[in-house]
Amino acid sequence: MSREAVRVTRMELLKLKKSLEVAIRARNLLEEKRNVLAMELLDYIKKMGLAQEKIDERMKKTHDAFIEAQMVLGKMGIRSAIVSISPDRFSIEEKYRSIMGIRIPILNLIENKTQIPCNFLSTSSKLDEVAFHMNEVIKTTIEVAEAQATIKKLAEELKKIKRRVNALDRIIIPRIQNRIKYIEERLSEMERETIFRIKRIKYLLEKRKITEIA
pTM: 0.72
Cβ-contact 51, 144 below 8 angstroms: yes
Structural domain includes residue 198 = yes
Structural domain includes residue 24 = yes
Give pLDDT, residue 83: 54
Neighbours of 147 (CB within 10 A): 22
- pLDDT, greater one: 8 or 42: 42
Structural domain includes residue 11 = yes
Indicate which CATH number applies to the domain containing 150: 1.10.287.3240
Lowest mean pLDDT among 48-57, 78-87, 190-199: 78-87
pLDDT digit string, tens, across residues 134-167: 888 888 999 999 999 999 999 999 999 999 999 9
Report the percent of the chain where pLDDT is more than 70. 83
The arithmetic mean of pLDDT across residues 7-26, rounded, is: 94
Cβ-contact 51, 147 below 8 angstroms: yes
pLDDT digit string, tens, across residues 162-214: 999 999 999 999 999 999 999 999 998 888 888 888 888 887 777 777 776 65
List, in sequence order, the alpha helices (H) in the chain.
10-83, 125-167, 173-213
Structural domain includes residue 106 = yes
Examine the pLDDT at 119 and tell me if it is beyond 50. no
pLDDT band at 15 (very low <50, low <70, confident <90, very high): very high
Cβ-contact 176, 15 below 8 angstroms: no
Structural domain includes residue 14 = yes
CA 104/CA 69 separation, integer angstroms? 41
The arithmetic mean of pLDDT across residues 52-59, rounded, is: 92
CA 89/CA 110 separation, integer angstroms? 8
Give pLDDT, residue 88: 67
Structural domain includes residue 139 = yes
Examine the pLDDT at 27 and tell me if it is beyond 90. yes
Q: Which string of b and e fits 161-199 if b means at least 16 CB within 10 Å?
A: beebbeebeeebbeebeebbebbeeeeeeeeeeeeeeee
Domain carrying residue 101: 3-208
Examine the pLDDT at 132 and tell me if it is beyond 60. yes
User: What is the total count of domains within the chain?
Assistant: 1
- In sequence order, what are the residues at sequence separation of 6 or more whose Cβ sits closer than 8 angstroms to the Cβ of residue 121? 128
Structural domain includes residue 214 = no
Q: How far apart are the first and last CA of the chain?
A: 56
pLDDT band at 84 (very low <50, low <70, confident <90, very high): low
Element containing residue 96 per DSSP (H, E): strand 90-99
Phi, then psi, of 6 in degrees rounded to 5? -85, 125
pLDDT band at 120 (very low <50, low <70, confident <90, very high): very low
Average pLDDT, the chain: 84
pLDDT band at 121 (very low <50, low <70, confident <90, very high): very low
| DSSP 8-state class, residue 6 | S
Examine the pLDDT at 130 and tell me if it is beyond 60. yes
Give the gyration radius of the chain's Cα atoms.
37
Structural domain includes residue 92 = yes
Examine the pLDDT at 86 and tell me if it is beyond 60. no
